[in-house]
Structure 1
């Protein structure tokens, strides 16, 4: 039987506010356990939460960017359950009147453009985390993350493959980063995704029993988890079994999902309106102000780079794919580097080093000013382009000064024409056959001779000067070094 996979996503994005959603504790990542919390975010009796205005603003901005209807009068609810990492035994979230609903986002797929429907976007507070110590056989609770503001973005079950899911998540990540409302660092838990998945016979309209997969901390893990779970459910059904609605944990090391608990429904959480927080009233003037301030997003910026800066579609697409690359590119060009030259360096040397170092652009230490300085050295003739690539490799990790690097490593370009001429003469004398081949019309021989001269000069000569002098000597038949 042919099975169709049906997927819906619940994506949690940690908002980049300085303080938590209902108190003034810092949202800074890390810190000693239980040092970023207070009686409010740990839910002590007698405390009164107050809504962080910036959280509401960021949630509205996300809702607008996802083409949602913003709820003019929204409210918070209590979601009651007991986990050890949530000391007050309930989470403040939004069920009945979320801040945004009925949105949509377009993604590019192998079959063309596809619209993914957004069911809702709501605000909520994060829980803490449990730290398991196998040596002491203890589990300890760290409440630092309690009360960190989140938006949860819930889609309709519109995905049919892992490829579509990843395309959506990359688009969502781009939107949040362009808005500046989340750093989206999956390794720090700033962007987390739960995958609701079911399978059904191809052509069927009825949804099958779904499972929810948690503990997915990378796009690669999400794709692997979807492939595994779809296969597991299909095999189970083909053997006459039944898929149980449950929450499953993804184990990246074992490349498999494992049952955690039965999947709860809304009624299991005994939701009721949060009594300590009044409803939020948003005016149309407030929303119009936010609409007017929305930044230029990836698609618009890509078009502008092509039409105004003359970048090829490929270059513009790669650079605008990540906000950190856009910021870097704009600063480099603002410092006077032509757009295409900046793009060549970024898409060549920079992307190569990022891949080798397994770094995200936003995590690299290299600054635009350093790259501009290096490009300036090439333009001034102090080093050639090949040497500049070597310098780039050396300075990239620690953002070192390219001038100091060139001086320390003796890489300054040779400009003395007599030195270049001497190297040319020696190479022509050592390779008379190649010289004869060039004179006979074999253009490839020039490349060989060029390579020998550059090697003789340890790659530090101007290739243009070497090329010109070689041609001159070959055409006049000379090999003398004077």
Structure 2
């Protein structure tokens, strides 16, 4: 049973516009690079000049096939393009070329974890379409302009069933989808540049009742805003219903400055767009051998890699899922695990110390100053007793901050090697016992706190170079504890 909000069940479905990573547009050869001067990347086809005809971009189709395979969907051997008719200043043709009745990708599902609970969201479809241009509103001069650089940019619109029941689940789904499309290389995933734009369809209902009227929150471009927008919309809809008002189907925008959604326009239905097959584009036919070739070129998928980490390295499922948040992180772990021979310790270090520093520096693991093989060597030095865990963190600090690049050299330079001379350690322990008679008596009386104090004194006397386990063992032997 999903968690209720003030006695209501939340129902969420997603439509995600994923910009495909082709060098040119979906129906023309115009480039798709981000950040160009306005209207410098719009071809006659994108501008809908008379006499121009669209030509399908094979690379866009191949990326759609790749996505279909990644989510276990049916890749349609024959699909068609339609004209979606509506008027907007940044849509020069007066219609958008999209797919309606027969999309290229049909069905499939996205699996992910929400905490320890495994979730699955069913997909309805993923279809190819072109993007529109962009309206630029210059408030300081009171004018608006149109930039058609984005017009014709290839998109794969991914549509889910209304399977999500909370903002946390919606965000977890969106993150997993983002991971999949970047992992298989069909999208760069840059949300700030508009490469991965999510629309959330949100409604509420009493448990067991039919679905409520949905409102679509458009163009959510960060996971943080996604959660805030859905949470506000849910509260707003419940308040409206409790006050006796009906929810009107609408498209809304989220304002991050106020933390509120606001209506942009009433929501259109499919009939409003007057879809009909595009007469300039023949059906898209995808031969089975093309699908098989793409399948053979697919990378190992995240869920497959995670299962392999559990099977081959004995990792807990939580670790394996966390370490496959990106292909680069999975590769980093695998190299560190093989270099150290200690998979679980490598996992702990990457999920702990390494991730903490990546987050603090706001960088990806590909940019980590400490290479995976170097981390593996450091873990080896912990295991063979060369350094303590505390000293290993000091070594890691130095490596991360560029104070050296070789583990053993940093250990030597900083004098962090653990004391392995049992004779010298025994002398230190004898001196500690002699100087702490009161603690010794308390240890013999069974007081653990006094024992820990003696261990601390011995570690201090060794300047942190003694092995704490060895210190404890020797103290117990000498004190008969």
TM range, normalised to the smaller chain?
Answer: 0.7 to 0.9
Name the CA distance, whole Å, in 1 between partners of 2:56 and 2:404: 46
Task: Give the TM-score of the pair, scaled to structure 2.
Answer: 0.81
Worse-superposed segment, 247-256 or 96-105 = 96-105
Name the CA distance, whole Å, in 1 between partners of 2:454 and 2:7: 62
SS at match of 1:215: strand
**Would you say the 8 A contact 2:404–2:410 is kept in 1?**
no
The Cα of 1:188 is off from its aligned counterpart by: 3.5
Matching residue of 2:212: 208
Matching residue of 2:18: 13
SS at match of 2:106: strand
Q: Out of 240, 247, 250, which is 1:246 matched to?
A: 250
**Would you say the 8 A contact 1:383–1:412 is kept in 2?**
no
Q: How does 1:120-269 map to 2 (within 5 A)?
A: 120-137=125-142, 139-205=144-210, 207-269=211-273
Deviations 1:265-291 (A, max 9, x none): 234334343344332111122223334
Name the CA distance, whole Å, in 2 between partners of 1:274 and 1:442: 84
Cα gap change, 1:237 to 1:371, in 2 (>3 Å) = same
Task: Give the TM-score of the pair, scaled to structure 1.
Answer: 0.81
| Aligned positions, number | 472
Cα gap change, 1:158 to 1:414, in 2 (>3 Å) = closer
SS at match of 1:226: helix
The Cα of 1:327 is off from its aligned counterpart by: 2.4
**Would you say the 8 A contact 2:32–2:150 is kept in 1?**
yes
Worse-superposed segment, 344-353 or 402-411 = 402-411
Matching residue of 2:3: none
The Cα of 1:368 is off from its aligned counterpart by: 2.4
Deviations 1:160-186 (A, max 9, x none): 332432343243234334433233343
1:58 aligns to 2:55 (yes or no): no
Name the CA distance, whole Å, in 1 between partners of 2:399 and 2:135: 40
Cα gap change, 1:128 to 1:361, in 2 (>3 Å) = farther
Name the CA distance, whole Å, in 1 between partners of 2:81 and 2:359: 43
The Cα of 1:122 is off from its aligned counterpart by: 0.2
Q: Which runs of 5+ in 1 are unaligned?
A: 478-482
Name the CA distance, whole Å, in 1 between partners of 2:149 and 2:371: 32
SS at match of 1:308: helix
1:412 aligns to 2:406 (yes or no): no
**Would you say the 8 A contact 1:382–1:412 is kept in 2?**
no
**Would you say the 8 A contact 1:374–1:402 is kept in 2?**
no
Q: Which runs of 5+ in 2 are unaligned?
A: 1-5
Cα gap change, 1:476 to 1:74, in 2 (>3 Å) = closer
